[in-house]
Structure 1
Amino acid sequence: MKLIQYIFLWIVCSCIILSCKEKNAYKSVSSVAKEYPYDKLTDDLFLGDKKCKECHQEEFKEWKGSHHDKAMQIADSLTVLGNFNDTTFVSQDVKSRFFKKGKDFYVNTEGPDGNYHDYKIEYTFGVFPLQQYIVKFPNGRFQCLRTAWDCKEEKWFDLYPDFKVVHSEWLHWSRGGLNWNMMCADCHSTNVRKNYIQETDSYNTQYSLINVSCEACHGPGKQHVNDVVNLGEKYKATGTFFMTSETSPKELVDQCARCHMRREQFSEAYDYKGTMLDHYFPQLIEEGRYHADGQILDEVYVYGSFVQSKMYENNITCTNCHNAHSLELKFEGNKLCAQCHDSQKYNTTEHHAHPENSEGAKCVNCHMPGKYYMGNDFRRDHSLRVPRPDLSLKYNTPNACTNCHNDKDNQWAWSSFKKLYGEVDSIHFSEKLIPGIKGILNGHTELLSLVKDDKYPEIVRASAAKALSNYNTTVFVKEYIDLLNDDSPLVRAVSVDALSEINNQNYISYFFPLLKDPKRSVRIKAFYGLSSFPKGQIPESYKTDYDTVEKEFWKHINTNSDFVGGRVKKANYYLKKGEFQKGIQGYVDALKIDELNNSLRLTLANLYYQNRAFSKAESLFKKVIALEPDFGPVYYSLALLLAEQNRTDEAIVALKKSQIKMPENTRVYYNLSLLYDKKGDTVNAEKILYEGLKIDKNNESLLYALAYQFYTKEKYKKAKPIIEKLIKAHPENPQYMRFLDELKTKL
């Protein structure tokens, strides 16, 4: 959240009401144009909380003991909350024994080699409702145990009890999924520098202060103290102190967001310059992360939902509800909402339709439903929306009514809603977003209307632009080119991504102006999109910008090179440039991080295939089959590879297996027919085409292949109606007319 140390935030109800009345569109925060004295934030610039306490005793008192204060601590008898009195916890057949050696805390559990070892607990992580524990590994790595302490129930529990993870998987606690350096450190300590070195696969991670101290939010204190001593009240003009009472509501959300959102990092380390989008890019609304209407699903934290809300639009910010230093809610129950909302109107049974003081009468249970993450951590959705059981009926999205009344269905919820409030009388963005996110036919129409209308939240518009590419990016090239000039940096960035996938020189030339974009994340995306553009042909007016952003790009790539995604981006950069071997090596390096990632393995196999390294491709395809024998597409890819080497019988066997695994895929039938035909087995070649046409009677490829089969067997009368059907369905294809003319000469 936030630590505001110099000036206490006196936000009275009248000020909040005023801010609600000032209509403000969903605009992103402008870059902060402040002079800043540091190029590199060294440890000596950070003075620590005791120095801050000298002037800010009240703020220090509120912060002390908070989640920020106890975000990370050295493990000792005062900080460790878990039971280490030789207790054992078993989950997914893994036994973990927690015990002490003298004053030190230990766990004996399964390590990265599959064997059991003793590990010393170095640090605690968090304080409530759970506490995690960190152990030290070679090469500067620190790992978070998968078993955590439930501070409410006072028991050990498995963070992911439904997932059985083997020791060689990325998700194993000893590997990337629970690596402190890359997954946790940036937000649990102050002035973190990850310092990952890919060549040695090692870390030299450093921080100035172990926890989320005062200076994590307000910036390094040394210059601030000097300014106050030398300038008095004039220190405010220096711009060296951050997150104060003068920080605008949206800028405050922006600054809190860097740790309270799911995101991709675009700078080496946070240095208090610029805005959130100069350092990070948020997770947008897409299936698997959010529900299709924007409600939280996966662990996406707070920012992405809050910026969808009417609260954000109307300049409500984090500190309107949360104390800036203790992080606690300012008021209990509905009194919190009554700061702005008339309790005479809303805190009544007529409005909430539940008994007074019941759970159903609480504003948050209807407007901020939540779910548990990490086993026991309940987090509320911050999009603050009206429940929409009508959308649940139509699209199976969740709603607060049936979340509580889980013995009822969505029809009951919608009928009850209408009795209380009548029909919905306003359009919510989710009505336009859901069809497009779900890929429903013609959903792109509503997506386009969302993207082009800036009265909708910026993150919603950007998510709509991203979802638009799920249909057919090439159809919307003009729209995407226009959106490169949108006021929203999120929309500009997504449009760059969409056009980059097409990788057409005529389109990517539009990226050059974005090398000057005020947001680093947009600039880097534009540079990546220009990967295939010959450097020697860069227009003179953009050469300096290109060179500057190239340096930013490589810092971004190197910073993320401990992630699979970072290495894949590096690989794809080289592939776009035509440096095929470097691209292949990039995928090889990505597999080193996650050896069981078959998506990577398939991509690498296909790259080898394209490069005619057939034996390497075949080996990888077979490795995927060994790991996932029910995955149909890999049999199909293997069959094509074998067919190209004239290993027809083996290819047929692979395609038959593919047919069993994915019987609805008509392309399998088409290629299987071709292979039978190649062997001279025209009976089976014809038979398999008929089987495919039972699945899709109008399939163009299958119909053409069947007509060709009849033609080669001199069954011209059977071929003729099939070709006539194809001409009627595809009059733009001259090949079919020529085929018909040829048939007429035979009849």
Structure 2
Amino acid sequence: MVGFLVSLLSLALGPGASAARAEGGDPAAGSTPHPVYVGSTVCAGCHDAEAKAWRSSHHARAWMAPSEDTVDGDFSGVAFEKDGRTTRFFREGGDFVIETEDFAGGRRAFKVEGVGGVAPLQQYLLETEPGRLQSFDVVWDQQKKRWYHLYPDQKLTPKDGLHWSGPYKTWNARCAECHATGFSKAYDLRTRRYSSSQAEIGVGCEACHGPGAAHVVWARAGKGGQGSLFPGTGDAGLPVRFAKGLPEVEIQQCAGCHSRREPFADGNPLPGAPFHDSYRLALLTPGLYHPDGQILDEVYVYGSFLQSKMYDKGVRCSNCHEPHGGDLRAEGNAVCTQCHSPTGNAEFPSLTARRYDDPSHHFHKPGTAGAQCVSCHMIERIYMGIDGRRDHSFRVPRPDLTETLGTPNACSDCHADKPASWAAAVLKKRFPESAHRGPHYGEVLAGAQRNPSGFDAELLELAGHDGLPGIVRATALDLLAERATPQMAARAAPLIHDADPLVRAAAVSVQRAAQPPDRLRRIAGALEDPVRAVRIAAAREMLGLPVAHLPPRIDRAARSASKEWQAANAAKLDFPETHLVLGGTALAMRNPKAAVAAFREVTRLDPQMVNAWIMQVRILLAVRDMPAAQFALQKGLAANPGDPNLMALKPYFAQ
């Protein structure tokens, strides 16, 4: 099967698709200059105050080596039991050991190889095979000083893809990039092994500021000395510059980890790389967000922040968060009254200067939870059992939408004993002239999600509304792409040239519904878009188009964009989702053998991905390999007993 997969990758990915990270040279030695990491200890030699704040931050302790100082859990021999399987935590010599029955093959003892995070919980990393780290699901509650399971309601066996030993809990694949500095995943499909490396575990100075070797050379030369010896870095030798007038640079740097997204590269992009050149952002899709854009699943801030007026007005992360220690700039409402006060803030002149931290605005007793700005404008949701995170869309409560859409609202979070209609009436009485009532984009998104055949005109109107956040407009286009007609594709075509890259990428996808000549003509320019996410979207839509006699410029652009898409796929060959894409690509290229191999790799990684089993069976039936099709169905049903979609295939094998 691996041979088939290699053949598929040769076909669908092309040569040179693996994502390698070049090692840097030493500028002092005169070798070819490439940025290299020097480590936070070197940075601290000059930047003492910043380093002191950083050492106590969650960033510094995002990933640590196990030791007496870093492991907080109780390893005194205590046991934890769930679903009839026992896990024991103990010490063996200087090691911290987790022995668990919750593993394929039964009881197994693992030495703790890494410590993930510090508060409000701490998770431990176990090496289940050479180079592969898995994040264990029984974690330490720092507040209650107890072991608890992250997913107490799930009853997963080790054969389930979502089990702690499965692909979705592989630290190398899903977590390490945002818990390390200069991380390279280095997954080898042929051996299915990782050779991961990093410049530093934990989020160090260079995770945000970039490799520091050139900066050290610059600093040692003294002010007024020669500029950076490294191409691509600024005069001070760093690849990224956080300037007051460039909030987007900072926001996108933070967003690289604080977002729900699909990476395009093998590990950390070079700090300063634009977000949309490095990732494809998750839109406001069901399961991640409520229809009105409020947080539902763990979406890590950026997608929420893009919906906010604060983002639109140029507010940056460090306006509220001290960047080195990570703490808020002030306590309680004082964070908000930096701007939302009678004096306002000269940096944001459009803001109305008036008293907000006052009962006349929040109509709650000062000092109570109801008087806190975040209670109304940043609802909190609990993830990982105990980790409270706030919605960064900074929205006005809309209990009226709760009545019509079933979405949450801040009022009902506290006043759970009263209906949403009560809260809506109170707000209408308190703020009779408020503009925060009436039509909301969530009504269209919710309607389109419920009714696949309706709301097409409304989705197009949302998509073209340049007064709405780009992520909302892109979501409307994404919903439209699922049911678009050639006429809709024509109406959406101008948005391929929109100012927002999220909108451009989503508009390209709508062209799937267009006739081939129209599709090619419309997306040709997107193949040369300045943003990689848009170019990759265009490359995807080139599949199935007649490309034998393209004009030279379009041909070159198509080949270049295709290579970028290939490289993005090659960087995620340990993801089941990637092999779904490769399987679909192989089908589009009329290569059923390669498609079956890809879908088999999907189900090897995640046996519960039923669609991949179905595709195997259908393709094998189509090529008249009845024994292989029947065997695939049997394996699929063994992994998913009684699944109705798989059971529906059984009549094809009736005698």
TM-score range, shorter chain: 0.7 to 0.9
Q: In structure 2, what is the Cα distance between the partners aligned to 1:580 and 1:475?
A: 32
Superimposed CA distance per residue, residues 237-268 of structure 1 (whole angstroms, 9 cap, x where no aligned partner): 46734252446112211111000001001123
Q: In structure 2, what is the Cα distance between the partners aligned to 1:515 and 1:471?
A: 24
Deviation at 1:222, TM superposition (A): 0.5
**Correspondent of 1:267 among 250, 262, 265:** 265
1:334 is paired with a residue whose SS is helix
Aligned residue runs from structure 1 range 129-144, under 5 A: 129-144=120-135
1:466 is paired with a residue whose SS is helix
Q: In structure 2, what is the Cα distance between the partners aligned to 1:417 and 1:359?
A: 18
Q: 1:207 to 1:500 in 2, by over 3 A?
A: farther
Superimposed CA distance per residue, residues 147-176 of structure 1 (whole angstroms, 9 cap, x where no aligned partner): 110011111110111111101111111121
Q: Is the 8 A contact 1:286 1:437 kept in 2?
A: no
Deviation at 1:73, TM superposition (A): 0.8
Q: Is the 8 A contact 2:249 2:272 kept in 1?
A: no
Superimposed CA distance per residue, residues 446-472 of structure 1 (whole angstroms, 9 cap, x where no aligned partner): 221111121111111111111122444
Look up the match of 2:79. Answer: 88
Superimposed CA distance per residue, residues 467-501 of structure 1 (whole angstroms, 9 cap, x where no aligned partner): 12244444512123332222221112122333347
Deviation at 1:626, TM superposition (A): 5.4
Q: In structure 1, what is the Cα distance between the partners aligned to 2:644 and 2:90?
A: 47
Superimposed CA distance per residue, residues 569-596 of structure 1 (whole angstroms, 9 cap, x where no aligned partner): 1121121112221122111111111123
Q: Does 1:421 align with 2:431?
A: yes
Give the AA of the match of 2:259: M
Q: Does 1:443 align with 2:455?
A: yes
Look up the match of 1:688. Answer: none
**Correspondent of 1:387 among 397, 402, 405:** 397
Deviation at 1:423, TM superposition (A): 6.4
Deviation at 1:432, TM superposition (A): 4.1
**Correspondent of 2:109 among 105, 108, 118:** 118
Q: 1:125 to 1:309 in 2, by over 3 A?
A: same
Kindly indicate which of the two structures has a greater share of residues assigned to helix.
Answer: 1
Look up the match of 2:595. Answer: 583
1:72 is paired with a residue whose SS is coil
Q: Does 1:56 align with 2:32?
A: no
Deviation at 1:346, TM superposition (A): 1.5
1:600 is paired with a residue whose SS is helix
Q: Does 1:353 align with 2:366?
A: no
1:118 is paired with a residue whose SS is strand
Give the AA of the match of 2:392: H
Look up the match of 1:481. Answer: 493
Look up the match of 2:337. Answer: 338
Q: Does 1:606 align with 2:597?
A: no
2:382 is paired with a residue whose SS is strand
Q: Mind listing any 5+ residue stretches in structure 2 that lack a counterpart?
A: 1-19, 27-35, 229-233, 343-353
Q: Is the 8 A contact 1:450 1:464 kept in 2?
A: yes
Q: In structure 2, what is the Cα distance between the partners aligned to 1:342 and 1:68?
A: 31
Deviation at 1:535, TM superposition (A): 5.0
**Correspondent of 2:533 among 498, 521, 544:** 521
1:425 is paired with a residue whose SS is coil
Q: In structure 1, what is the Cα distance between the partners aligned to 2:257 and 2:360?
A: 39
Of the two structures, which has the highest relative contact order with CA contacts closer than 8 Å and spacing of 6 or more?
A: 2
Q: In structure 1, what is the Cα distance between the partners aligned to 2:369 and 2:485?
A: 47
TM-score normalized with structure 1 length: 0.77
Q: 1:612 to 1:582 in 2, by over 3 A?
A: same
Give the AA of the match of 2:304: S
Deviation at 1:518, TM superposition (A): 1.1
Q: In structure 1, what is the Cα distance between the partners aligned to 2:25 and 2:302?
A: 29
Which segment drifts farther, 493-502 or 192-201?
A: 493-502
Deviation at 1:387, TM superposition (A): 0.5
Q: Does 1:318 align with 2:342?
A: no
Look up the match of 2:467. Answer: 455
Give the AA of the match of 2:544: S
Q: Is the 8 A contact 1:96 1:107 kept in 2?
A: yes
Deviation at 1:400, TM superposition (A): 0.6
Q: 1:410 to 1:153 in 2, by over 3 A?
A: same
Q: In structure 1, what is the Cα distance between the partners aligned to 2:169 and 2:492?
A: 38
Look up the match of 1:278. Answer: 277
Give the AA of the match of 1:248: L
Cα RMSD (Å) of the superposition?
2.4
Q: Is the 8 A contact 1:47 1:220 kept in 2?
A: yes
**Correspondent of 1:256 among 254, 257, 266:** 254
Look up the match of 1:568. Answer: 580
Deviation at 1:624, TM superposition (A): 4.6
Q: 1:238 to 1:58 in 2, by over 3 A?
A: closer
Q: Is the 8 A contact 2:253 2:272 kept in 1?
A: no
Q: Is the 8 A contact 1:483 1:495 kept in 2?
A: yes
**Correspondent of 1:160 among 145, 151, 157:** 151
Q: Is the 8 A contact 1:70 1:127 kept in 2?
A: yes
2:181 is paired with a residue whose SS is coil
Which segment drifts farther, 487-496 or 302-311?
A: 487-496
Q: Does 1:366 align with 2:366?
A: no
Look up the match of 1:5. Answer: none
Deviation at 1:519, TM superposition (A): 1.3
Q: In structure 1, what is the Cα distance between the partners aligned to 2:116 and 2:359?
A: 42
1:484 is paired with a residue whose SS is helix
**Correspondent of 2:503 among 455, 473, 491:** 491
Look up the match of 1:212. Answer: 203
2:497 is paired with a residue whose SS is coil
TM-score normalized with structure 2 length: 0.88
Q: 1:206 to 1:323 in 2, by over 3 A?
A: same
Superimposed CA distance per residue, residues 531-577 of structure 1 (whole angstroms, 9 cap, x where no aligned partner): 22355333212233333333322221111110011111112112111
Q: In structure 2, what is the Cα distance between the partners aligned to 1:93 and 1:573?
A: 43
Superimposed CA distance per residue, residues 362-397 of structure 1 (whole angstroms, 9 cap, x where no aligned partner): 000110001111111100000000010111100101
Q: 1:202 to 1:63 in 2, by over 3 A?
A: same
Look up the match of 1:727. Answer: none
Look up the match of 2:286. Answer: 287
Superimposed CA distance per residue, residues 708-727 of structure 1 (whole angstroms, 9 cap, x where no aligned partner): xxxxxxxxxxxxxxxxxxxx
Q: Is the 8 A contact 1:285 1:463 kept in 2?
A: yes
Q: Give 1 or 2 for the bigger CA radius of gyration.
A: 1
1:281 is paired with a residue whose SS is strand
Q: Is the 8 A contact 2:240 2:272 kept in 1?
A: no
Give the AA of the match of 2:298: E
Q: 1:492 to 1:289 in 2, by over 3 A?
A: same
Look up the match of 1:697. Answer: none
Q: In structure 1, what is the Cα distance between the partners aligned to 2:81 and 2:388?
A: 24
Q: 1:591 to 1:474 in 2, by over 3 A?
A: farther
Q: Is the 8 A contact 2:481 2:513 kept in 1?
A: no
Q: 1:443 to 1:280 in 2, by over 3 A?
A: same
Superimposed CA distance per residue, residues 25-58 of structure 1 (whole angstroms, 9 cap, x where no aligned partner): xxxxxxxxxxxxx983549721111211122111
**Correspondent of 1:240 among 234, 238, 241:** 238
Which segment drifts farther, 566-575 or 270-279?
A: 270-279
Q: Is the 8 A contact 1:48 1:209 kept in 2?
A: yes
Q: Mind listing any 5+ residue stretches in structure 1 that lack a counterpart?
A: 1-37, 651-747
Q: Is the 8 A contact 1:139 1:201 kept in 2?
A: no
Q: Does 1:175 align with 2:166?
A: yes
Look up the match of 2:415. Answer: 405
1:88 is paired with a residue whose SS is strand
Q: 1:629 to 1:169 in 2, by over 3 A?
A: closer
Q: In structure 2, what is the Cα distance between the partners aligned to 1:608 and 1:626?
A: 18
Which segment drifts farther, 601-610 or 323-332?
A: 601-610
